[in-house]
Structures are given as C-alpha cells and as structure tokens.
Amino acid sequence: MSWNKQQMAERAAKEIEPGSIVNLGIGLPTLVADYLPDDAGVWFHSENGLLGMGPFPFEGDEDPQLINAGKQTVTVVPGGSTFDSATSFSMIRGGHVDLAILGAMQVAMNGDLANWWIPGGKMMGIGGAMDLASGAERILVLTTHTTKEGDPKLLGACDFPLTAKGCVDRVITELAVLDVTGDGFRCVERAPGVTEGEVRQKTGAPVTF
Amino acid sequence: MSGRHRDKVRPTVADALEPMFDGARVMVGGFGLCGNAEALIAGVVERGVKDLHLISNNAGNLGKGLAQWLRAGIIGKVTCTYLGNNQDLHDAREGGVVDIEVVPQGTFVERIRAAGAGIPAFYTPTGVGTVVAEGKETRDFGGRTYLLEEALHADFALIRCRAADPFGNARFWRTARNFSPLMATAAKTTILEADGLVELGAIDPDDVHLPGIFVHRVVEVTDHEDPFEYRTVREQRA
C-alpha cells in the first residue's frame, strides 16, 4: 500500500499552519488546497500577482484576467488583493511567504532541488521556481518517490540543473514523509503498509528511521 | 516648444506605433495571454518592423498573442522566464531562429523595476549555485551569497490597462496588471492600450496604479478577444 495523489495532498495539507501564507506550485501541489478546513485562515499566494486566491470559478464566472501562475482561471476570496509582479516577488524573495509546496524532478540529501529542466528534454523555462525555492521561508516538496522509469528522485546529489541549493526542508511522496538531514534523509512517517526496506530500496541516498 | 506629456492620445493603433523601429528592444506586458495589449501586438506585425528584441514573460501561447510575432519572423531575441507549452517559441529556439535568454521571474521583473528606478544593478539570492549564476559576480552579505543582476531597459513598452485618462494615468484589472506598470517605467517610450479612455480626474488619485509620467502614447481599444489559456471551473453547487 502507498498513498494515492489525493492522500499525498491530504498529508501535505497537515504541514500548513493556520494563519499562514502559502504558495502552491503547478501540478500535484495545487490539490493541497482541497484538504484544508474552511476555518484554516490560510492565504494562498500566486506569483502572477494575487494574494487570497480562491478555488476555480463556477461555470459562467470565469474571468480571463483572473488567473493563477499556471494560467488557470481562479477566483479571489474576500480580503484578497491583486498587485504587480515586483510586489509579488518582494513577497517571495523578502521571506514573507511562509511555505511553498513545490514539485520536483530531483531532491538531494543536502536539500538541493532540481525541478525546472531535464537536459535533453523540452526546456520549459524557470518561471517563478528559483525565486520561490530560494525565497520562501519553508520548502515542502510533493512528488512521486521515483520517476516513471523507476529511478529514484531522492538522491545523494542532483544531476539535473538546480533550481536552488540547500532549500528543501521536507519531502512527501506516495511512500513516506522524509526530512533532509545533510548526509541523508530521515523518514518521519511511512504510508500504511510501506516497509523500511521499500523506502530504502527506492531512495538513492541513506535513509534513517 | 512642447513637452513630451502633451497630446498623448492617438486616434489609431497605427498612429500610436508610429515611432517603432527595426532592432528595437520591446517590452510587452501580460502573463501568458492574460493582460495582453492585443491591438498593439497585432499592429506591430502590420507596422512591418523586424529584428526586435522581445522582453516578455512568455512570448505568447497557443499561436496567439506574441506567438504572432514569432510566426511573422520579426523577433531576433527573446528575454523571457517561461516557455511552457508555447510551441512557436520551442520551434524558434530549436530552429536557432531566435536567441532566447531565460531569466527567473522575480529577477526578470526586478531588473525591469531597477531600470525604471535608475538603479544599474542589484544583488539577489535567486539563482545562486545554478546555471543562472554562470559568469556573474557574487558577493556575500550577512553570511549569504547573492548574485549581481543588471537592469533591463527597453526602447518601447506595449501595455494594456482597463482604464486610462489622457495623461496616461492607468488602472489595471485583477491579475492583468503583472509586469505592465514596471515595464512602463523601464522604456523610453511607453504605449498604452486602454480598454476605456476616461476624463482627467475620473480615476481617483489614490486609485491610479500607474502614474501618467511613465506613459507617452495612449490609444483606446474597446474590443478584445481575451482568450483563456486554461479554462478551469468547479462543479456548480447543488
């Protein structure tokens, strides 16, 4: 047994403190918002210039000029604000965003993150990834434990071009919750039925339990 | 004698774009297709200028927006932050037709802000220890390493707003604001496409997002396509 995507998002939601500012990366991290209690008092930041991002609009309410950083139509909650990109990245770079939940291609045991380009593949660009990785107060990575080919994503060192050095605090995969220790990963929780051996076998760096 | 802040309102898009020239560095506002100066973008193709250095977050998508410039072959260089699924930009990059500089988004906008604010360069933590840092000066402050990034200037900024007055005071709508007010400060000539032109004083001074000092030409364009890139909705409440 391991966690499915919804269970991973639900587990990630537990990392969010009430009354905090959170930026959710494109893809799997966007699911996390669905698992917060209504009274959490969490403000979602989107780097294209929105604080207080709400859920997708009801059909008919879509506004092409109200989008998230993934260019999806969204809504703004009461108390939300819109602003220019310089202000938005001041929020990020200035350490005002409490938590960023990001996807990953590789994470190293020293906290290095690679999540923007696999050399030889299509170069999608950097976007806000480097600013978020180096600027947010805490970085939580939400990713599959291995690639589609079964190669480990949690490694001794990243081969792919880095997004930022030493930025990752914690990783949540379908198998486990792991903290970066510098000389390995410390497993702080395992999905139901997942053994220590399986986590060890699928991780490309030492794991302690 | 006439100051450059007289008679900014232009009757047509072609008139507004009249000063553009070959080889110009052109900033274009918008986050993907959101908040694009659609008429000015189309007008530049008709204007017939070429070898442009485009400075914009995405250079269009889905064949729309600035992808029209790529298809028309009028761009020599692009400074952007994200290519994403913009196939026209991938094709231009892989074909060696266009030279592409990819910049972290926060650095991109801060370089633009610095240019407009008279600051030649600044130190940022973003990109340290990555390919972005290659060839750049670093310096430590308080035990952390920072990267020196230089201001990004332009000859023209083409931006879109919801409402503008004849002086060029502008208000934007929701997330259509993005890079536009910063780009306006960094360009020698800023051309503003306003959804609606209002009288002086109609925008309360406290509600001006972009003061008219940064705007040089204004054209009113009431019709826009405003395409969706990803139209996402939730289920209607029962």
Angle at the Cα of B220 from the Cα atoms of B219 and B221, rounded to 5 degrees: 115
**Mean pLDDT, residues A122-151 taken together:** 96
Q: For residue A55, what is the DSSP state?
A: -
User: DSSP string of A74-138?
Assistant: -EEEEEEEE--HHHHHHHHHTT---EEEE--SEEETTS-EE-S--TTS---B-TTHHHHHHHSSE
Work out the number of other CB atoms within 10 angstroms of the CB of residue A182.
10
Question: What integer pLDDT is reported at residue B35 of this predicted model?
Answer: 96
User: DSSP string of B41-52?
Assistant: HHHHHHHT--SE
Q: Tell me the average pLDDT of chain B.
A: 96
Q: Do residue B180 and residue A65 have CB atoms under 8 angstroms apart?
A: no
Judge whether residue B31 has pLDDT over 90: yes
At A63, is the pLDDT very low, low, confident or very high (cuts 50, 70, 90)?
Answer: very high
What separation in angstroms does the CA of B117 have from each of A175, B53, B111, B186?
Answer: 49, 21, 10, 8
Q: pLDDT tens digits for B33-56?
A: 999 999 999 999 999 999 999 999
Residue that is written with structure tokens 């998508």 in the block: B61
The Cα of B194 is separated from the nearest Cα of chain A by a number of Å equal to 14
Q: pLDDT tens digits for B168-185?
A: 999 999 999 999 999 999
Q: Do residue A64 and residue B173 have CB atoms under 8 angstroms apart?
A: no
What is the extent of the structural domain holding A76? 5-208
At A27, is the pLDDT very low, low, confident or very high (cuts 50, 70, 90)?
Answer: confident
Question: What integer pLDDT is reported at residue B1 of this predicted model?
Answer: 56
User: Any CB–CB contact under 8 A between A156 and chain B?
Assistant: no
Question: What integer pLDDT is reported at residue B150 of this predicted model?
Answer: 98
CATH assignment of the domain containing A135: 3.40.1080.10
Distance between CA atoms of B99 and A41, rounded to whole angstroms?
45
Judge whether residue A56 has pLDDT over 90: yes
- The sign of the dihedral angle between the CA atoms of A111, A117, A118, A120 is negative
Q: Do residue B174 and residue A72 have CB atoms under 8 angstroms apart?
A: no
User: Any CB–CB contact under 8 A between A29 and chain B?
Assistant: no
DSSP strand pairing (A185-190 vs A75-82): unpaired
Which tokens go with B95? 């074909």
Question: Which residue out of A10, A17, A47, A149 is catalytically annotated?
Answer: A47
Q: Which of B33, B83, B37, B159 is nearest to A73 (CA)?
A: B33
Q: Is A47 a catalytic residue?
A: yes
Q: Do residue B109 and residue A62 have CB atoms under 8 angstroms apart?
A: no
Predicted ipTM of the assembly: 0.96
Judge whether residue B238 has pLDDT over 60: no
**Mean pLDDT, residues A117-142 taken together:** 95
Judge whether residue A102 has pLDDT over 70: yes
Chain B residue numbers touching A161 (CB-CB < 8 A): 130-131
**Chain B neighbours among A 109-138 (CB < 8 Å)?**
112, 122-131, 134-135
Interface-testing mutation among B91, B232, B236, with chain A (most A C-beta atoms within 10 A): B232
Q: Do residue B129 and residue A165 have CB atoms under 8 angstroms apart?
A: yes
Q: For residue B27, what is the DSSP state?
A: E
At A1, is the pLDDT very low, low, confident or very high (cuts 50, 70, 90)?
Answer: confident
Question: What integer pLDDT is reported at residue A37 of this predicted model?
Answer: 87
Higher model confidence: residue A127 or residue A1? A127
Q: Do residue B102 and residue A123 have CB atoms under 8 angstroms apart?
A: yes
Write the class of the CATH domain B21-102+153-220. alpha beta
Given A58, A62, A127, which is nearest B82 (Cβ)?
Answer: A127
- Read off φ and ψ for residue B28, nearest 5 degrees: -130, 125
Burial label, B139 (beta-carbon count in 10 A; 0-12, 13-18, 19+): exposed
Of the ranges A76-80, A96-100, A188-192, B233-237, which one carries the lowest mean pLDDT score? Answer: B233-237
Distance between CA atoms of B109 and B118, rounded to whole angstroms?
14
Name the residue ranges covered by the structural domains of chain B: 21-102+153-220
Chain B residue numbers touching A50 (CB-CB < 8 A): 174-175
Q: Tell me the average pLDDT of chain A.
A: 96
Q: For residue A182, what is the DSSP state?
A: S
**Mean pLDDT, residues A156-184 taken together:** 97
- Quote the number of domains for chain A: 1
**Mean pLDDT, residues A120-126 taken together:** 90
Calculate the dihedral angle through the C-alpha atoms of A93, A98, A101, A107, rounding to the nearest 10 degrees. 70
Question: What integer pLDDT is reported at residue A139 of this predicted model?
Answer: 98
Distance between CA atoms of A197 and B92, rounded to whole angstroms?
47
Q: Which of A34, A176, A8 is nearest to A103 (CA)?
A: A8
Which are the contacts of B88, defined by CB distance < 8 A and separation ≥ 6? B59, B60, B63, B67, B70, B71
Question: What integer pLDDT is reported at residue A38 of this predicted model?
Answer: 81
